[in-house]
Structure 1
Amino acid sequence: MGRSRRSIGRWCAGVMFALAVARPAWAGDPPTVSANYITDLIGNASGGVERGANWMGRLDLAIASGDRLFGIDGAHARFDMMLLHGGGFSADRTGDGQVLSNIDAPHAIRPFEAWISVPLTPRLRAKAGLVDLNSEFDQQDVGGLFLNSSFGIGPDLSQSGLDGPSIFPVTAPGMVLAYEPAGWSARLGVFDALAGDPQNLHRVLPDSFGRHGALLIGQARALIGPLVEVEAGAWLYTDPFPRIDAPGEARSAGGYVEIETRLLDDGPNRALKGWVRAGKATTGANPIGTYVGGGLTWGGDRRMAGIAVARAVLGDPAWRAGQPAAPAPYRAETAWEVTARERLARGFFLQPDMQYIVHPGWAPAVGNALVLALRLEWSWLGGH
């Protein structure tokens, strides 16, 4: 724990020093500080592992430089310190594998992001540091309304690697190159294959960068006419992992495609949007081989409602080996979600939510779960 605190302290001090050194170059564009707190009051009404309720939350305190860091137009930095509490609902209550709340994680206080972004040309930028992979890749913009983790990043990618890729709740050192002309974009990323330390949840960084290889990921995104956007990506871990079903090693790789569309636009608060995402992963090292999800939303920034479904299918090796639920697990876990979000005041949102999980954790011994939740979100943005 002492090493973890020293590591966090070094990150904080380093970022604050960099921003302080750059202060003379801000030229009227000062840094901003922000706070964001999301809390879920969530209960399992039936089925699952056991009935009961949890209170969980995520607090982010962040500082971001202006857009003239070190006097370079378009260069900026961000540092985000995160506090998590009350996690474990999916593991303890419902037993679902996709994780039905996107803030559900073990208690921790750690940096979430700490990076610098610099333009190399008017259309090419580079970002390096502790980077949330999901902020650059596999973004389901329409799905951002929903609580289930699969509607933020597909489980075919999010559950890969030794401890997941560089996403919530633990990020890893990495670098992203993004080429962003009008109408389309292309991105390449290189991340440490091990995010944090699975044996020490409070450790910020792995023991040594690249010890377990790297995660390589690429993505292209394009507008097709004024209403449709298509995204496709592929990823690969450079080092093999132990096989699920037999001795030996297997490669971990995969790809995904997503389509988002605006089906109806009748003003700023009356838009009907839809999306669908599909992903495949190699099954020798990854339990989830296929994922398909998507849904519809209606409304705008002030008020929005939606319905969505996520289906994660085990690969043959995981199914034959009886993992993660022995014996003879179901082949698919399916999550249905209905939700509505209301802005009550500036920076304050209320969101009731209902989810029905079919075959939680792919386990025959666990009944289908009905989960009710109420999410509250508060955000504040300031400067000095």
Structure 2
Amino acid sequence: MTSAVAGGFLAALAVSGQCSAQESDSAWSTEVTYTADITGVVSGGPVQAGKFLDNLDVIIDGDLDRLIGWRGAKLHLYLLNNNGGQPNNVAGTLQGVDNIEVGDTGARLYELWIEQDFDGKGSVLAGLYDVNSEFYSTAASDLLIAPPFGIGSELAATGPNGPSIFPSTALAVRARIGSAEGSYLQVAAVNAEASTLGDVDGVDADFDTGGLFLAEAGWTGPLRVAVGGWRYSEEQDDIRDTLPGGDPARSTAQGAYLLAEGPLYSNDDGLAARAFLRAGVSDGDTTDFEGGWQAGIRLDQVLASRPDSAFSIGVHQGLLSDKARANFRDDLIDPARAEQGVEITYADTIGRLTIQPSVQWIANPGGDRDADAIVVATLRLAVAIH
């Protein structure tokens, strides 16, 4: 790390962080979160100095009932800024190694939506929306840094430029029936072209590439279980098949997933263990992945004297499609059946500083059977200011 970057990093830590202002009699709530990572390959590959990257979240929620008398309505504004390097350029994996890495740095309007709640029995939301905030997500995996634990790679790798997930969202409408506890059904229609303010083309409102439609049904209680599906309205470029003129053939991108999470153990000292399991499949024609799965455990208050201490371990595997493996062979690469990894991480808060080291072991990086397994280390830091 150069002295200029290090100086900027330390300055950012001194003045940035996470703060929230939520008063029971206030119509507004604000949360600001600053995250800084140093991530790099430390074994098994092209070992280099760690890459510095950071993420700034500014979230503002407004109670429209208190503000303008619109009963049951909420306004949500989410601003995002990312800077720094791209550690996966060194790691060379298909699924990524750090969940705040972006291809294009800078500031974005990440989310801007209004939600209408119907007395806790359902809701409708419209605006710029991250589908992974409610679809194909598990709370028990949220401490892990590897991107596959956020959303399955077989969905994350679809669409003209990726679906409406971090770091670029799209215009969407989402409807949900059910309460926070019990059974629920939610559906969403999303612009297939993910682009927002801060991206080169700004917010895409033309819907020229069609839409992405998602549905998820589940039950939430002590154990949460859900099954979901997704499909694009317009065909996407096939990753291998071509037309007689040489242009890519077109295929329907679609898939399904299931997930479960729930408590495993708790004791009087505060230790609580939760587990998660997810699996998904896709068509395998429009993305390198025909499916994948993730599983893991999160432990909260690992140390009785440290209420914020948390530990998590997760395993993930991205299964390569037959067409992707054929493309690898054309490039004289012996393709693996899957790229897989294991992550172990621990986090704790000391005063205003949260420290989270993480280690990942990744086999068959880049889908190459002959590639050595790599070890990726990350140090994540955050500062809270109140």
Shorter-chain TM-score above 0.5: yes
Whether 1:59 and 2:56 are equivalent positions in the alignment is yes
The residue number in structure 2 matching 1:183 is: 182
Alpha-carbon distance in 2 for matches of 1:296, 1:158: 22
Residue 156 of structure 1, CA deviation: 1.3
Give the one of 351, 359, 372 matched to 2:364. Answer: 359
SS at match of 2:348: strand
**How far apart, in 1, do the equivalents of 2:86 and 2:326 lie?**
28
| 1:48–1:71 distance in 2 versus 1, CA, 3 Å | farther
Question: Which residue number corresponds to residue 241 of structure 1?
Answer: 236
Question: Which residue of the partner structure matches residue 194 of structure 2?
Answer: 195
Pair 1:229–1:208, CA change in 2 (3 A): closer
Q: Distance in 1 between matches of 2:201 and 2:114?
A: 18
Task: Quote the RMSD (CA, aligned, Å).
Answer: 2.3
Task: Identify the residue that residue 15 of structure 2 maps to in structure 1.
Answer: none
- The letter of the residue matching 1:373 is T
Q: CA deviation at 1:33?
A: 2.4
* 2:95 alignment partner, SS class: coil
Q: Residue 364 of structure 2 contacts residue 370 of structure 2 at CA under 8 Å; is this kept in 1?
A: no
The 3 A distance-change label for structure 1 pair 53 and 365 is: farther
CA contact (8 A) 1:127 1:175 kept: yes
Distance 2:177 2:108 in 1: 30
The secondary structure found in structure 2 opposite 1:242 is strand
Structure 1 residue 329 displacement after superposition: 2.1
AA partner of residue 299 (structure 2): W
Aligned 8 A contact 2:193 2:204 in 1: no
Residue 211 of structure 1, CA deviation: 0.5
Q: CA deviation at 1:82?
A: 1.0
Displacement after TM superposition at 1:299 (Å) = 2.0
Alpha-carbon deviation of 1:267? 4.1
State which drifts further: 119-128 or 168-177: 119-128
What's the offset of the Cα at 1:294?
Answer: 0.6
CA-to-aligned-CA distance 1:244-302 (integer Å, 9 cap, x gap)? 11111111000100111211121473012111110001111121001011111222461
Q: Which letter maps to 1:118?
A: Q
Contact 2:294 2:317 in 1 (8 A): yes
SS in structure 1 of the partner of residue 285 of structure 2: coil
Are residue 215 (structure 1) and residue 212 (structure 2) matched? yes
Evaluate the alpha carbon distance shift between residue 378 and residue 177 of structure 1 in structure 2; reply closer, same or farther with a 3 A threshold: farther
2:95 paired residue number: 98
The match for 1:109 among 107, 110, 120 is: 107
Q: Confirm or deny: 8 A CA contact 1:195 1:205 kept in the other structure.
A: no
Aligned residue for 2:313?
Answer: 307
Aligned partners of 1:34 and 1:379 also within 8 Å: no
Offset, 1:321 = 1.8
1:82 to 76, 80, 83: 80
Q: What SS does the corresponding residue of 1:322 show, helix, strand or coil? A: helix
Q: Which residue of 2 aligns with 1:22?
A: none
Q: Structure 1 regions of 5+ residues with no counterpart?
A: 1-25
Paired residue type of 1:240: E
CA contact (8 A) 2:109 2:198 kept: no
Letter of the structure 1 residue corresponding to residue 366 of structure 2: G
170, 173, 192: which one aligns with 2:171 = 173
Structure 2: how far apart are the matches of 1:341 and 1:66? 33
Q: CA deviation at 1:364?
A: 4.3
Give the distance between the partners of 2:268 and 2:176, measured in 1 at CA.
Answer: 32
Matching residue's letter, 1:351? Q
Whole-Å Cα distance in 1 between the matches of residues 183 and 254 of structure 2?
24
Is the CA contact (8 Å cut-off) linking 2:170 and 2:204 kept in structure 1? no
1:62 positional shift? 2.5
2:266 alignment partner in structure 1: 265
SS of the aligned residue for 2:339 comes to strand
* 1:327 CA displacement: 2.6
Aligned to 2:255: 254
| Structural mapping, 1:29-48, within 5 Å | 29-48=26-45
SS state at 2:241 partner: coil
AA paired with 2:216? Answer: Q
1:123-162 equivalences in 2 (<5 Å): 123-162=121-160
Seq. identity, %: 26
Alpha-carbon distance between aligned partners in 1 of 2:294 and 2:250, rounded to the nearest angstrom: 30
Q: How many residues align?
A: 350
Specify whether residues 308 and 27 from structure 1 end up closer, same or farther in structure 2 by C-alpha distance, changes over 3 A only.
Answer: closer
- Residues 1:289 and 1:27: Cα distance change in structure 2 (over 3 Å): closer
Q: Distance in 1 between matches of 2:341 and 2:213?
A: 29
Secondary structure at the aligned position of 2:376 is classed as strand
* C-alpha distance 323-97 of structure 1, shift in aligned 2 (>3 A): farther
More divergent stretch after superposition (357-366 vs 330-339): 357-366
Q: Is the 8 A contact 1:29 1:67 kept in 2?
A: no
Hey, which bits of structure 1, 4+ residues long, moved more than 6 A? none
Q: 1:63 to 1:138 in 2, by over 3 A?
A: same
Distance 1:319 1:373 in 2: 30
Deviation at 1:201, TM superposition (A): 7.5
| Residues 1:321 and 2:327 are matched in the alignment | yes
User: Residue 245 of structure 1 aligns to a residue in which SS?
Assistant: strand
For residue 8 of structure 1, what is the aligned residue in structure 2? none
**Partner amino acid for 1:109?**
A
- The answer to whether the aligner puts 1:335 opposite 2:336 as a matched pair is no
Which amino acid in 2 is paired with 1:320?
Answer: A
Amino acid at match of 2:233: T
Conserved in 1, the CA contact under 8 Å of 2:140 and 2:275?
Answer: yes
